[in-house]
Amino acid sequence: MDKKTALITGATGGLGYELSKILAQEGYNLVLVARNQARLETTKHNLSRISNIAIETMALDLTIPTAPKELYERVQQQSLAIDLLVNNAGFGIYGRFDKTELGEELEMIQLNATALIQLTKFFVPDMLTRQNGKILNVASQAAFQPIPFFSVYAATKALVLSFSEALANELQGTGVSVSVLCPGAFRSGFQQRARMEHTIIFQSRLLLTAEEIAKIGYRGLKKNKRVIIPGWKEKMLVFSTRFAPRNLVTQIARYLVRERR
């Protein structure tokens, strides 16, 4: 009865799965959200062997504008109090803007940004009523600068970063904290989905793993850290963008996402 409950979107792979593993180890009951019910059940089975916790699965496609409200209503129907909301679901689209598909980009905006704001909007009032709760929004190192050929994705993550920092300030002293995790490139299914596995940045041998990023993210969350940037290299790159000319920062970002075959 004393266990807390975490809701994680995009929970069946990559960073979402690694965060779910950590939360299971920490004794959180889990609400796992993803599109594919079969993968959700596999994930539930794997996580149930880690700890004696309750795990609910909810198969929803958050690229559909009505899905976030439906998710919140399902949680309410099951009388689940969400103590930690992890807005992790997202994807990227790589390519020159005039060549990419508008429909796919609109789905990305809905998932990466709009659904994240919707879910936060729904769950924050309940947390404020209890005067307790945590939100972890997953942005990206891409949030700190424009990225040619990754323009819309970087813009969605810039929104997540700005929104999260502002909301964290608004909620000071309420018992509800907001943290935003800004990882650099790491190996997962993301680069295949974004069609950028051949880019320079994803061919680096120095990439952190999803497991490493999840551990750093969770440590920062426990400390109520507002902006969490995993990795010394990533921190240096973000720090350098504050002082370099904007055009130079954008040109460097363009180089890093250049294809190398």
List active site positions: 153
Task: List CB contacts of 169: < 8 A, sequence separation 6 or more.
Answer: none
Token pair, residue 26, equals 């920490």
- Cα–Cα distances (Å) from 46 to 17, 110, 218, 227, 248, in that order, read 10, 29, 20, 30, 46
CA dihedral 141, 143, 145, 151 (to 10 degrees): 110
Whether residue 253 contacts residue 146, with contact meaning beta carbons closer than 8 Å, is answered with yes
- Residue 202: other Cβ atoms inside 10 A: 20
At 83 the three-state DSSP class reads coil
Rg (CA), the chain: 18
